[in-house]
Structure 1
C-alpha cells in the first residue's frame, strides 16, 4: 500500500534545511517519541468509552480489546497513571504497530484520519523537542522562573497529542517553542482606545496618544492578523506557548489561534471583561487558606473586541518566593521523588484544593496552572495558582460560607453541579498534577494513603476516597469533533 509522506519525514526535510546539525539527534529521538505517544494512546484505549471497543479482557500482564468489527487489538495492561513510553508496540489481529498514526489509520474508525495526522505530528514534534535538549542543559538550578518552564519537554503527560502543533513549521517551532529556549519578539499592535475593552490597570508603557498597544504573538501576527505591530517586546516563552515572561516583569498571555493538544486557544471578550473581578475573587479565596495558596493577580487585560486580538498581563509566580525559595511548575517536578516528599506534596495540594472546593471554587489544578513553592531543601511549602479562566464556581457553596459572588461572573464558570465541580478539581489535580508527579499508580496510591487520612473530612473527601477518579476522555474528544464541550471517563481509584 502506498502511504503519503509521514510527518516524521516532513519534519526531517525541514530540519535538514533549517538546522541540519539537529537532524541526527532528531532521528535518534524518533523511537522514544513514538513509544511516548503510543503509550498515551493505549492508555486511552484501555480506559475511555470509545464506541468501537466492545469488550476489554485482561490476561496476566496483557490486555485484549475486542472491536465492533470483530478485530482484536492487544497490548500490555496500561497503568492509568503512568507516564513515559513503556508501550513500544501493540498488535492489531497479530500485526505489530509501533507508530501510533499508522495504527489509527488502519483502525479506520470514524474521524480516524484527522486524528492520525495529529498523532503523527505529535510524534515528530516530540522528537524535535527532545532533539533540542543540549547535553547538560541547564548547567545548574534555574535562576529564573521561565527556565523551569522550559525544562518541560514532553508536553501533556497523558494526551496523545502531547506535542502536536499543526500549523507550525519546523522553523516556527524552533523560534517560538519554550523547550527550544528562544527569545520571542512580541509585536505591539496599536488599537484606538475607544475601540478597545480594557479591564484592570493597563500600564502606561502600553499606551500611546489615545491608543492601546496590544502585545501580539508573531505567529498570530503572521498567520491570523496578517499585519505587524509598531515596536516589539522581547520575552521568554513558557510551557503554555502563548504565554511569555517579560524579563524582570509580568507574564503576557497572548491570543494564539492555533490548535494545541485538544482545542484552539484564544482570549474571549468575556474573559477580558471578567479578568479584574475574577482576579480579586481569587485573592479572596486565597485568604481562606491560611497562607498555603497564592493566586497570581491579573494586572490588566485588553481586547479589540476580538478573541484573536487580546492580551492579559499577569504577575510572575516567582514574586511569591521568599529568601532561599523557588517557585516551580508542577509539570517540571520530574521524579523520582521519595515517598515522604510525594506524601507531603499530596497533602499540601489536596488540603488547598479541597478547602477551596468546600468554599465553592474548583481549580483546574493541572501541572501547568499549579506551581509549588519549594524551600531551600526542596520541601513543598506553599502553592501558587495561575490562570483562573477555567475554574468552576458554585454560587450555592459560596453563599453557605458568606463569600460574595462577583456580579460579572457568568457563563460556564458558574455551576452548582457537584459532579462538575469534582470533575474539575479531581480530574486536574489527582489524575493530572499528582499522578504525573508520582509517575504511576503504585507511587500515587502510597502518597494518597499517607496524606488523605490527615485531611479534614468533607463529602468531597469521601468521594475522593471511595469513587473512581474522573478524568477527561481526551482521545474520545478528539474522535468526536461534532460533540461540544468536555467528555469524561473514570479511572480506577488508587486508594482502592
Structure 2
C-alpha cells in the first residue's frame, strides 16, 4: 500500500505543538479519512468525462478504467450516490493504492500534482475534524449554529471536501465550525465614500460617516495584513466564513482562500445586486404555497475590493414556529430521520415540489445541502423549506414572463433561457446533491424518488428528471482543469430508470 505522509505528517507535527492531547485521535482517524476521500475521488474517476480515460468496463468484480496510455485503473463497482467510505483500495495496473493523494500523483495526468496536494490536505484536515468530535454532543440542538457545526465531513461527494490550504492547524481549530469555536470578527471602519453599500446597513455597524465592515480574522491576518482593535464574536457556520452573531443576523465575510474548490471572496457585482436579488426572490417564493421561505439579505457592503466585503442575512431561524427546528439539509445525515423510507420519501416530495415549482416559474435554485434548509415539526416531520444565498441561482426571463413576473437588473451570468442549464442547476444540486447526500445510497435515493414523483404535477421538467441521465458537477474534472472557467458536468445513472 502506498501512502503519502506529507500533509498528514505536517498536521501531526503542528498538532503535537498546539494540541498534543488530540494527536492520538488524529492518527487513529487517518485510515478512515483516506477511505472517505478515496471514495469521493473514485466517484469522480468513474463518472466524470476525463479526457485521459479511453473507456470504462464493468465486470463482476467492479469497474475498470482503460486509460489512454494503456494503463488500467480498477476499483469496486461505484455507487455515485453513496456517502460512506466504501472504497478502501483501487489498483493502478498491479499496484494497490489506499491513499488518494498518492494515487493521483502516480496517475501523472495534467495538473495532477496540484490536485494531489489538495487531496492530501483534504485527508489530513478531515482526520483532524473527526478527531475533534465530542461523542456526547447534543442530540437535537436548539440553536441554528449548533446544527451547522454537526457537519464534520464537509461536501459528501467532493474529493477535496476538507481541503483548507493556507490554514494552519491552530487556525483550523480556531475557525473550523466542526471544532465549535467562538470566532472574533474584526471590525474595520471605512469612509462611506469609499464603500459600495446596498440594502439597509445597520446602525451598530456604522461609526459616524464611516461604514464598519466585519472581517474574518484569517482574512485580516493573511490578506489585509492588519490588526483590528474592535471585534465582535460569532459562531462559525458550515461555510466557515459565515458566522451567526448572537441575537443578530448571519454575516458572510470575504475569505480569499480556496475552500473545497472555490476562492471565497465576495465580488463587487454580487454586492451591487444583493438588495435587488433579495427583493426579487420573494416573488416566486410567495407562489410556492407557503412551502418555501427565502432568507432576506439585510445589507451588503464592499470597500472597493472582493477582499474587504460582507453580507448580512436573516437567520433561517426566523422562519421556525413554536417547537420547530430549522437545520441545513446537510445536517439531516447526522440524525436518525433519513433511515425511515417513509420519512425520506416525504422529504423528497417536499423538496421536489418546491424545486420544480420554482423552476416552472423561472428560477433554478442551487439547492445543495448547505443552501437548502428544512423546517421540522416537533415530531421531526418535514414541513417547509428555507433557502439562503442567492448568488448562484439561474433566472429565465422567458419562463418568468409566462407567469407575469418581471426580471430585475441582475448579473448577466444569472440570466438564461437555456433549459439544459436551468435543469442542470436544480437537478445537479437538489437531486444529485441534497437528496442523494441525505439518502446515502443509490438504492435509498431511488426508493424515495419513486414514491415522491407519483404525486407531482406532470411538467416537462419532471419528464426530463425521470427520463434523462442525472446531471452533477464534474468535481474531479474541474479540479484537474484549473484553466477552464465555470462549471463542468458529468452524467450519472438515473435512479428513476
Is TM-score (shorter-chain normalized) higher than 0.5?
A: yes
- Which deviates the most, 117-126 or 277-286? 277-286
1:146 is aligned to 145
- Matched with 1:426 is 427
Q: Distance in 1 between matches of 2:239 and 2:89?
A: 30
Answer yes or no: is the 8 Å Cα contact 1:187–1:216 preserved in 2.
yes
Q: Does 1:95 align with 2:113?
A: no
The SS at the match of 1:288 is: coil
Q: Does the CA contact (< 8 Å) of 2:4 and 2:99 recur in 1?
A: no
**1:4 offset after TM fit, Å?**
8.1
Give the unaligned 5+ runs of structure 2.
none
Match of 1:78 in 2: 78
How big is the shift at 1:5?
5.2
Kept after mapping to 2: 8 A contact 1:189/1:228? no
How far off its partner does 1:286 sit?
A: 1.2
Cα distance in structure 2, aligned partners of 1:65 and 1:425: 30
Alignment partner of 1:259: what SS? strand
Q: What is the Cα deviation at residue 58 of structure 1?
A: 0.9
- Which position in structure 1 is the counterpart of 2:406? 404
| RMSD (Å), alpha carbons | 1.1
Structure 1, residues 55-94: CA drift from partner, whole Å, max 9, x if none? 1111114111111111111110110100010100001112
Whether the 8 Å contact between 1:255 and 1:266 is mirrored in structure 2 is yes
Matches for 1:39-438 after TM superposition, within 5 Å = 39-138=39-138, 140-334=139-333, 335=336, 336-406=338-408, 408-438=409-439
Task: Report the TM-score when normalising by structure 2.
Answer: 0.98
For the 8 Å contact 2:82–2:440, the answer to whether it is kept is yes
**1:430/1:4 Cα in 2 relative to 1: closer, same or farther (>3 Å)?**
closer
Q: Distance in 2 between matches of 1:349 and 1:251?
A: 24
What's the counterpart of residue 467 of structure 1?
A: 468
User: Offset at 1:127?
Assistant: 0.1
Deviations 1:253-290 (A, max 9, x none): 00000001111121111111111111111111211011
Partner-residue secondary structure (3-state), 1:366: coil
Distance 2:459 2:227 in 1: 53
SS at match of 1:308: coil
Cα distance in 2 between the residues matched to 1:231 and 1:265: 23
CA distance in 2, matches of 1:136, 1:212: 42
Greater mean deviation of Cα atoms: 333-342 or 140-149:
333-342
Q: Distance in 2 between matches of 1:151 and 1:368?
A: 12
What SS class does the counterpart of residue 267 from structure 1 fall into?
Answer: coil
State the 1:95 CA deviation: 1.0
- Assess if the C-alpha contact under 8 Å between 1:217 and 1:256 holds in 2: yes
> Hey, what's the Cα distance between the residues in 2 that align with 1:41 and 1:101?
10
Unaligned runs of 5+ in 1: none
CA distance in structure 2 between the partners assigned to 1:287 and 1:6 by the alignment: 52
Structure 1: 4+ residue segments shifted above 3 A? 2-5
Paired residues of 2:4 and 2:101 also in contact (CA < 8 A): no
Q: CA deviation at 1:134?
A: 1.6
Kindly tell me the number of residue pairs found equivalent between the two proteins: 493
Deviation at 1:411, TM superposition (A): 1.6
TM-score (normalizing by structure 1)? 0.98
